[in-house]
Amino acid sequence: MTTISLPSELEAFVERELAHDRYESREDLVVDAIRLLRHRREEELPEADWFEDALEQFRAIVGLPSGWDSNNAAPPDPKLVQVAAALLYRLAKSRRVAKPHINPTRRGGIQFEWEAGPRSFEVEVVGEDCAAYLFQDHAARLEEEGRLSPAEPLDVVAGYVERVAGSQ
């Protein structure tokens, strides 16, 4: 597996803006850069009606301080935020993926989650080149877990999201 980075045009924008000290944090800049890139290339990106809502949820999470849950939870790790931002961008481009719930984790990661009835699917960014996933179907007493690279094709993620929605 390789280190995950933002799309090259987005990464160049982030680095250029950071050099000018226009943003207080890389996280704020990454979120704004994703929004800017999406609007600049709308004809190339499939419209994800949930993207703006998810981006706002993401923005709130990346700004959390240490101890945000009153139990000493770690703030979001900037490297994991970058990986999660790239994954969010890719999820928004996929026609097969519905809007995820986006949650912070106590260890400084970011988790994407889909739920419907007895089924749920979670993807947690746990490293710069690794995400852990868990699929559960409580009615069928089924649980599947594994690891994937956030840079891999989204087929695994999309397949599980479709199973949660009941289409498989």
Contact 161, 94 (CB under 8 A): no
User: Would you state the pLDDT for residue 38?
Assistant: 53
Domain ranges of the chain: 8-165
pLDDT tens-place values along the chain, 168 residues long: 333 344 555 566 556 655 656 566 666 666 666 665 555 544 454 467 888 888 888 888 888 889 999 889 999 888 888 888 888 888 887 777 888 999 999 999 999 999 999 999 999 998 888 899 999 999 999 999 999 886 777 788 888 888 887 644
The pLDDT value given to residue 77: 87
